[in-house]
Amino acid sequence: MKGTSLELDGVSVQYGNTTALEAVSLSISAGERVGLVGPSGSGKTTLLRLLNGSVLPDQGDVHVSGSPLYTLSRTDLRRVRASIGFVYQDHRLVPNLQVSQNVIAGQLGRVSLLKSLRMMLFPSRVMVEKAHEILCRVGIGEKLFERTDHLSGGQQQRVAIARALFQEPQVLLADEPVSSVDPARAKDAVELLTRISREENLTLVMSLHNLDLAREYCERLIGLRRGRIVFDEPTSSIQESHFSELYRIGEGEMLADGA
Task: Provide the binding-site residues for other proteins, judged by CB under 8 A.
Answer: 52-56, 69-71, 77-79, 81-82, 84-86, 88, 90, 92-97, 105-106, 108-110, 113, 116-117, 120, 163-164, 167
CB-wise, 23 or 120, nearer to other proteins? 120
CB-wise, 56 or 136, nearer to other proteins? 56
Beta bridge partners of 224: 229
CB of 20 to other proteins, least distance (A): 13
| Strand residue runs (E) in the chain | 6-15, 18-28, 33-37, 59-64, 67-68, 84-87, 171-175, 203-207, 220-225, 228-234
CB-wise, 69 or 218, nearer to other proteins? 69
CB neighbour list of residue 195: distance below 8 Å, 6 or more residues apart: none
CB-wise, 196 or 238, nearer to other proteins? 196
CB of 111 to other proteins, least distance (A): 8
How far apart (Å, rounded) are the C-alpha atoms in residues 119 and 81?
20
CB-wise, 163 or 185, nearer to other proteins? 163
CB neighbour list of residue 174: distance below 8 Å, 6 or more residues apart: 48, 86, 87, 161, 193, 204, 205, 206, 207
CB of 157 to other proteins, least distance (A): 13
CB of 118 to other proteins, least distance (A): 11
Give which of 92, 97, 83, 106 is closest to 166, Cα–Cα. Answer: 106
CB of 183 to other proteins, least distance (A): 26
